[in-house]
Copies of this chain bind each other. A is one copy, B any other.
Amino acid sequence: MTTLSELNNCDLATFVDTLHGIYEHSPWIPQRVAMLRPFATANALKLALQSVVSAASDDEQLGLIRAHPELAGKAAIAGTLTEESTGEQARAGLNLCSAEEFATLQQLNTAYNQRFGFPFILAVKGPHGRGLSRAAIIETFARRLKNQAADEQAECLRQIHRIAELRLNALLGIEPQLGNTIMEWADVLAEWSDDDDGLTCAYLTPAHRKTAAQLLAWMTAAGMQAEIDAVGNVVGRYRSETPDAKTLITGSHYDTVCNGGKYDGREGILLAIAVVQQLHLRGEKLPFHLEVIGFAEEEGVRFKSTFLGSNAVIGAFDLALLDKADASGMTMRDALIVAGHDPRVIPAIGRNPDDLLGYVEVHIEQGPVLLERNLPVGIVTSIAGSSRYQVELTGVASHAGTTPMTMRRDAAAAAAEIVLMVERRCSQASSLVGTVGQLQVPHGSVNVIPGACRLSLDIRAADDATRDAAVAEVLRDIDAICARRGIEVQVERAVCAPAAPCAPWLMRQLAQATERAGVPAFELLSGAGHDAMAMARITDVAMLFTRCGNGGISHNPLETMTADDAEVSAQIFLDFLRHFQPPTR
C-alpha cells in the first residue's frame, strides 16, 4: 500500500519500482508517466498510464501484450506464469478447470495465437472486480476469437488497462464503494425478468412491479420520501431544508428492451440513489430539492409507445394510449388498474416547469465512443433528432444473361448507390450519422436483374439544422440517382423527431465536476433517445454518459460497464450536486 502523494513525490527509481508490476514487465510505462507528475487524483494517474500506452509504438504495444502469459494455456503448464498473473488467474478459479474446460482453453489459445499472433488477454477479475466464472471466460474467449485483428489488439490493451486499474486500486487501497453498490443493485434487479432467459422488463408486468417495489425500498432506505405514481414511476424526494426551494430532477427508466442489458436506464436511477444515500449517511443537505425518478417506461416494448413515464412527468401523457392493447389483448388501462393504479390521476403527475431547476440524467453510453477514447465518462452535448424513411425502388426485372449492362434498370444497383451516398453525406459532420439498416431485393433470384429493392433510412444529428440539411440532400440525391438510372422511387417518412440540445450551463457544471475528478471533460452526442429528450420540453437538461464495455454493445445481454466507471460517474454526479449553482437569468 502506498499513497498518491507518495507516488507524486518519490524519486524516479522508486516510482518505477512501485508501479513496475502494474503493467506486466513493462517498466517503460511508469518511466514515461513519471514525467507527467504530479497527479491530482488516482483517476488522472490511471489515464496518464493509459495515454502512455496509447502513444506508444505498435511494437511497444505488441510487446506489452506479449509480456502477458497465455490464459491457463501452455505457459501455465510450463510453470512460467508471472506471480501477479498466476495469482489473479488462480483467484478466477482457472486452477480448478475440469479436463474438458482445460482442453477447450488450450484449443482456444492455439486458434487465437494462430489468428492474431499474440496471447489472449482478459481481466479475469471482470467488471465487478469479483472474478469471472470459468464459463464466462471461455464464452468471452470464443467470442473475441471472431474479432478483427486491429480490434482485438485494441481490446487486449483495454483489458490490460483494466488489469492495471485493479492492481492500482489494490496498491492505493481504493475501493469503488458507490460503483460496487450500483453494480450489485443492478444485478439484483436483473433477477426479475418476464422471460426465463435474459432480462426483459416490460411495462407493468410482475417483474416490472417487483422492480418498482425494490427501487421504492432502496429510495426510502437512502433517506428519501418515495412513492410510486399513477403511471408507475418510482419517485424519491431528497428534500432541501429550504421548503420553497426549486427542484432538480435526475433519474432514468427501469423498463428494458427484450433480452436487454442491466445498466441501460437503471444505472441512472441506482447511481442517484447511491449518491443520495451517501449524502444522507453524512447528514448532508442540498440547497434545492433533489428528485430521483425511476421512469416506468421508455423503451416501448409492451404497448409500442415510448416515453410513457417521462411524458406523464412533463404533463404530456396521451390518454388515448390507455386504449392501446398489448400482444395478449390487454389494454394499458386494464394493465394499470391490475397494478393498482388509477389512470384518471395520470394528468395530475405533470410538473410545473416554474418549480424546476433542470433535469440531469446519467446513462450508459450504448456505443463505442468513450471505450475507443479510453475515457470513463463523457458529457452529452445533445440528444440527436432522428428522421426515418422507407424507400421503395422500382426498376425492370429482366434476364441476368440476356440484358446488356447498358440496358438495365437495376433497382439494387440504385439502392447500392444510395447506401454509399448516405454513408458519404453523413460522414460530413461530426454529430451526423446515417444508416441504411434494412436493404432487400424482394424475391431476388441469382439470374434475374432486381426489378425492386426496399431500403430504410435513419438520419440523426445533434442539431436539427444539420440533420435537416443532410436529409434534404440525401432525398435530392436519391431522386437524382433514380432519375439517372431510370428507376421509380417512392419515399415515405416514418419518423421525424427534433433534437434535444443540452443546456450549456448544466453541461459546464458537469464538465467542471468531471475535471475535478481528474478526467478530461469530453463531449459527445447521444445518438439514442433518452428520457431527457421528453424532459427537455419543460426544463433544461444535461446528461453524463458512462463508458460501455464489450465494443459498446447495448440492448443486448453483453452490455457491460465496470464498477470503477460507475464509481467515477457517481463521484462526478455527487460533486456536481455539491457544487450546483442555479443559472443566473
Interfacial residues, chain A to chain B (CB-CB below 8 A): 146, 148, 150-151, 365-369, 372, 384, 386, 388, 396, 398-407, 409-410, 412-413, 415-420, 423, 426-427, 430, 432-441, 444-450, 453, 456-458, 460, 486, 488, 494, 526-529, 551-555
Q: Which residues in B have their C-beta under 8 angstroms from that of A448?
A: 435, 437
* Contact yes or no, B423 A555, CB < 8 A: no
Given A399-B554, A403-B527, A406-B427, output 4 extra A-B contacts at Cβ < 8 Å: A365-B402, A369-B407, A410-B423, A420-B420
Taking A440-B441, A444-B440 as contacts, is the C-beta distance between A404 and B433 under 8 angstroms?
yes
Which residue on B lies nearest to A420, using beta carbons? B416
A529: chain B residues within 8 A (beta carbon): 401
25 residue pairs of the A-B complex, CB under 8 angstroms, read A148-B409, A150-B486, A366-B399, A367-B399, A367-B401, A368-B398, A368-B403, A368-B407, A388-B446, A388-B447, A396-B551, A400-B437, A401-B433, A401-B460, A403-B433, A403-B527, A405-B427, A406-B427, A412-B436, A412-B439, A413-B423, A416-B419, A439-B453, A446-B458, A447-B458
Q: How far is the CB of A115 from chain B (nearest CB, A)?
A: 12
Q: Which residue of B lies closest to A366 (CB)?
A: B402
Q: Smallest distance from the beta carbon of A458 to chain B beta carbons, Å? A: 5
Min CB–CB distance A500 → chain B (angstroms)? 13
- Asked whether B439 lies within 8 Å of A445 as measured between CB atoms, the reply is no
The residue on B at minimum CB distance from A555 is: B399
CB distance from A103 to the nearest CB of B (A): 26
State the CA gap A369–B401 with chains docked (Å): 12
| Chain B residues within an 8 Å CB radius of A456 | 444, 446
Q: Give min CB distance, A363 to chain B, whole Å.
A: 11
B residues less than 8 Å from A555 (CB atoms): 399
Contact, CB under 8 Å: A399 / B527:
yes
A508 to B538, CA, bound (A): 84
A407 to B460 CA separation, bound complex (whole angstroms) = 16
A486 and B148 contact, Cβ closer than 8 Å, known pairs A403-B368, A438-B446, A456-B444: yes
By Cβ-Cβ distance, the 10 closest A-B pairs, closest first, are A401-B527, A367-B402, A416-B419, A400-B435, A438-B444, A416-B416, A402-B527, A446-B456, A405-B427, A401-B528
Distance in angstroms between the alpha carbons of A529 and B554 in the assembled complex: 50
A405–B369 Cα gap in the complex (Å)?
Answer: 11
Chain B residues, Cβ within 8 Å of A420: 413, 416-417, 420
Contacts of A447 in B (CB 8 A): 388, 435, 437, 458
Q: Are B413 and A419 in contact (CB under 8 A)?
A: yes
A432: chain B residues within 8 A (beta carbon): 405
A405 nearest in chain B by CB position: B427
Give the CA-CA distance A413 to B440 in the complex, in Å.
13
Report the minimal beta-carbon distance from A440 to chain B, rounded to whole angstroms: 5
The answer to whether B405 touches A426, judged by C-beta atoms less than 8 angstroms apart, is: yes
Residue of B nearest to A428 (CB): B405
A528 to B151, CA, bound (A): 45
Q: Which of B406, B445, B494 contacts A446 (CB 8 A)?
A: B494
Residues of B within 8 A of A402 (CB): 365-369, 526-528, 552, 554
Q: How far is the CB of A332 from chain B (nearest CB, A)?
A: 24
When distances are taken between beta carbons in the complex, the residues of chain B under 8 Å from A423 are 405, 410, 413, 416
Count chain B CB atoms within 10 A of each CB in A401, A413, A486 and give the residue with the most: A401
State how many angstroms separate the Cβ of A364 from the closest Cβ of chain B: 10
Q: How far is the CA of A564 from the CA of B435 in the complex (A)?
A: 53
Q: How near does chain B come to A485, taking the closest CB pair, in angstroms?
A: 10
In the complex, what's the smallest C-beta–C-beta distance from A437 to chain B, in angstroms? 5
Judge whether A445 and B437 touch: CB under 8 Å.
yes
Contacts of A528 in B (CB 8 A): 399, 401-402
Asked whether, in the complex, the Cβ of A439 is within 8 Å of the Cβ of B435, the reply is no
Contact pick for A415, options B401, B418, B439, B553, CB 8 Å: B439
Whether the pair B437, A439 counts as a contact (CB closer than 8 A) is no
A273 CB to nearest chain B CB (Å): 25
Residue of A406, A420, A437, A527 ringed by the most chain B CB atoms within 10 A: A437
A437 to B403, CA, bound (A): 13
Chain B nearest CB from A171 CB (Å) reads 33
How far apart are A488's CB and chain B's nearest CB, in angstroms? 8
Residues of B within 8 A of A369 (CB): 402, 404, 407
Residues of B within 8 A of A415 (CB): 416, 419, 439
Query: CA of A314 to CA of B365 in the docked complex: distance in angstroms?
Result: 68
CB atoms of B405 and A433 under 8 A apart: yes
CB distance from A260 to the nearest CB of B (A): 12
